[in-house]
Amino acid sequence: MTLDDYLATGPPFERPIFEAVHSIVATFGPVHVEPVSVGIFIKKAGSYIELRPMTTWVALSFPLLRPVHHPLITRKPIVSGGRLYHVVKLRRPADLTPDIEAWLAESYSLVD
């Protein structure tokens, strides 16, 4: 499935959020976009971040080696493979704060 095919079937708020996230992470270095049935995975060499559409927002998840305690983190981090996966809710591109951008940059540096 192509990215355009995937986005054509999603909620209208998903494309602008994806485009905003992608434009940020593309500044860190090369990434690969993989649309799947549950959302969009943005990968470096391995898994990097996931965008999963919900009813009225998109769940952005990303791994870090440390816990982040911040009002933007909406769930308790999930531990997997020695990393802590954090989730933030994005309702619109403007929700991408400098804090989120910094976490995405930190996360990018962890993925081989």
Q: How far apart are CA 6 and CA 70, in angstroms?
A: 31
Q: Is the dihedral of CA 42, 47, 52, 58 positive or negative?
A: negative
Which neighbouring-strand residues pair with 47?
Answer: 43
Which fold would CATH assign to domain 3-110? Yope Regulator; Chain: A, (3.30.1460)
Q: Which residue has better confidence, 75 or 101?
A: 101
Structure token pair of residue 2 = 């192509």
Reading the block at residue 89, the tokens are 């809710």
For residue 110, the model assigns a pLDDT of: 87
Q: Note if the pTM is more than 0.85.
A: yes
Distance, in Å, from the CA atom of 106 to the CA atom of 23, rounded to the nearest integer, reads 16
Instruction: Encode pLDDT of 14-73 as tens digits.
Output: 999 999 999 999 999 999 999 999 999 999 887 789 999 999 999 999 999 999 999 999
Could you give the CA distance from residue 76 to residue 69 in angstroms, rounded to a whole number?
A: 9
**Please, are residues 18 and 92 in contact by the beta-carbon 8 Å criterion?**
no
45 phi, psi to nearest 5 deg = -85, -35
